[in-house]
Amino acid sequence: MMFFKKKNKDPKSELKEMFANYELPSFPVAVMSVLSALRDPDVSVSEIAGKVENDPGLHVKILKTVNSAAFGLSRHVDNLHRAVALLGRSRLETIVLTQAVNRALPKADTPYFDMHKFWQSSAKKASLARHLAHHIHPTTQVESFTAGLLQDLALPILVTMKPKEYSAIFKRYNEDPSLDIAELEQEALGYDHSTVGAMIAEEWGLPQYLVNSINNHHAVSDAAPVYPAINLVTHVFGYRDDDSLEDLIAICTEDYGLSKELVESIVETALKDASDLAKMLK
């Protein structure tokens, strides 16, 4: 197993060395074909649906996910072509990316890290980000949802690569609510999952907004290129179950003019949706 040495070396170079000794999971060919079609304005909705049908597992997952409460459609959809037409390209890309990442990530099995809990946390942040974005920055609802769901995608890979180190990190993180996961990673390894996640996102060819959001989701700078709703959710809701709403309510009321009652209602609805979404990601 390869370890990082504490020396003045470009962290990205060390990360590349680490990945040279690890086979990074890849997206299925059919999924990459769908993503490519979604980003090509000359490809019709019907053609996109046909590409989705080439991957039966993705087909089924899209219908299940699109009918979950997290996506907020007003009626049940049982036809893939209709689902694609109703969703539009950006929302369909969110589902395809979500399912592709879910399938690509290893099923990490390490003390103090629970993969089911990981997806519950990711679903919670995604759902909250979408509902908050609806009120504070409506044009970024889709991007906020996707960024919230995928910002921690490196964690299962890192836990698989370095189980001993991450068992120790998560043990400390779970025991002390004042600790920040990224700071613990930096202390123990000299890098954190946001840096690794951005590299993985680039390697997978994910959209640049996702690369930027993943890379900066633990940054404290106001200049960090993340969406407002993601910034809110990231710094309040994490992997633990004991997250407090006080900071979220305070920021939403003071900085965005939302009432306490509205924020509490948003959170209640979002958490119900997140539970439904998490079941889709098992």
Rounded average pLDDT per 10-residue block, the chain, 282 residues: 45 69 76 86 90 85 77 79 84 83 84 87 88 90 87 92 92 86 92 90 85 81 62 65 70 90 91 81 70
Residues 96, 126: one domain? no
Asked, for residue 158, whether it belongs to a domain, the answer is yes
* CA dihedral sign of residues 60, 65, 69, 75: negative
pLDDT of residue 4: 40
Residues 208, 277: one domain? yes
Tally of domains within the chain: 2
Residues 217, 245: one domain? yes
Domain boundary among 104, 129, 162: 104
Domain boundary among 45, 71, 104: 104
pLDDT of residue 5: 41
Of 157, 133, 135, the residue nearest 145 (C-alpha): 133
pLDDT of residue 188: 94
Asked, for residue 15, whether it belongs to a domain, the answer is no
Domain boundary among 49, 73, 104: 104
- Taking the C-alpha atoms of residue 282 and residue 277, their distance in angstroms, rounded to an integer, is 9
Residues 162, 75: one domain? no
Residues 274, 155: one domain? yes
Residues 69, 155: one domain? no
pTM of the full structure = 0.80
Residues 231, 99: one domain? no
- Residue length of the chain: 282
Asked, for residue 165, whether it belongs to a domain, the answer is yes
Cβ–Cβ under 8 Å, residues 46 and 219? no
Residues 131, 246: one domain? yes
Residues 244, 171: one domain? yes
- Taking the C-alpha atoms of residue 275 and residue 127, their distance in angstroms, rounded to an integer, is 9
pLDDT of residue 239: 55
- The C-alpha angle with vertex 164 and arms to 160 and 166, in degrees rounded to 5, equals 65
Count CA within 13 A, CB hemisphere, residue 178: 0
Whole domain around residue 72: which residue ranges? 26-104
pLDDT of residue 2: 39
Q: Angle of helix 246-256 relative to helix 115-136, nearest 10 degrees? A: 20
Phi (first) and psi of residue 113, to 5 degrees = -125, 120
pLDDT of residue 225: 47
